[in-house]
Amino acid sequence: MTTDEKKPILTLRNIRKSYGPIEVLHGIDLEIYPGEVVALLGENGAGKSTVSNVISGTVLPSAGEMTWQGAPYAPANPREAIDSGVGMIHQELLLLPHLSIAENIFVGRYPMKGGRIDRREMEQRASQGLQRLGLDISPRRKVDGLATASQQLIEIAKALTLNARMLIFDEPTAALGGEETRQLFEQIHRLKAEGVGMIYISHRLEEIK
């Protein structure tokens, strides 16, 4: 194990979140290391998604501190989290069906050249992200019509293309069948071997191994 692997990429200390008088997070402590998968298991409404929303910059904590690679970490929005290296794979996929795979991967962050979108670079980088997951699919293909499992892998490729070092999976198997779930777990093992840290959120005990 290298020195970097011995250090957490993300730490949470005494994270609390309240909505009015109701406290939904009661002092969460957590550490995520490179190549580690941490499971957050609990019934719906237990606060699992709130933890992920705090880490991904969707909501602000009421108290507590976070660090990312040893430095203070307090994303004010999801873009800041993504720029830091934290990717979020939502239960409800956020891809735009009328756009191509490459356009979805870079939406809002298109590489530019001469004042125009550099489609060659965009498609090349998107293809590299897809190949990293072992996906043999054209980045020019429209998302519309792709199976849910394929769309989910595109979300993962999007995060990796934006240099994510940690991924959060929020109930990722909710809309998947048995074979699709198996394929997802294969990708998680692949990413773990690459040193990507992951948080896996689920209410299904049988998925936590």
Spatial separation of the C-alpha atoms in residues 31 and 33, rounded to whole Å: 7
Among 59-68, 70-79, 112-121, 173-182, where is mean pLDDT lowest?
A: 173-182
Which position has the token pair 């690459």? Answer: 194
Instruction: For 172-182, write each residue's pLDDT tens digit.
Output: 888 778 888 88
Where does 64-147 have alpha helices with state H?
Answer: 78-84, 101-106, 119-132
Task: Indicate the pLDDT class of residue 57, thresholds 50, 70 and 90.
Answer: very high
Say yes or no to pLDDT of 105 above 90: yes
pLDDT range class, residue 69, cuts 50, 70, 90: very high
The two beta strands, 63-68 and 10-19, are: antiparallel
Residue 168, judged by CB atoms within 10 A of its CB (0-12, 13-18, 19+), counts as buried
User: What local confidence, expressed as pLDDT, does residue 207 receive?
Assistant: 66
Asked whether the beta carbons of 36 and 189 are under 8 A apart, the reply is: no
Q: What is the distance between the alpha carbons of residues 102 and 130, in angstroms, rounded to a whole number?
A: 10
Report the percent of the chain where pLDDT is more than 90: 62
Confidence of residue 134 (pLDDT cuts 50, 70, 90): confident
Gap between the Cα atoms of 10 and 203, Å rounded: 23
The pLDDT of residue 4 is 60
The mean of the pLDDT values for the chain is: 90
Residue with tokens 């959060």: 168
Residue with tokens 């969460």: 28
Strand pairing of 166-170 and 37-41?
A: unpaired
Please, where are the H alpha helices in the chain? 3-6, 48-55, 78-84, 101-106, 119-132, 148-161, 178-193
pLDDT: which is higher, 208 or 82? 82
Residue 127 has pLDDT above 70, yes or no: yes
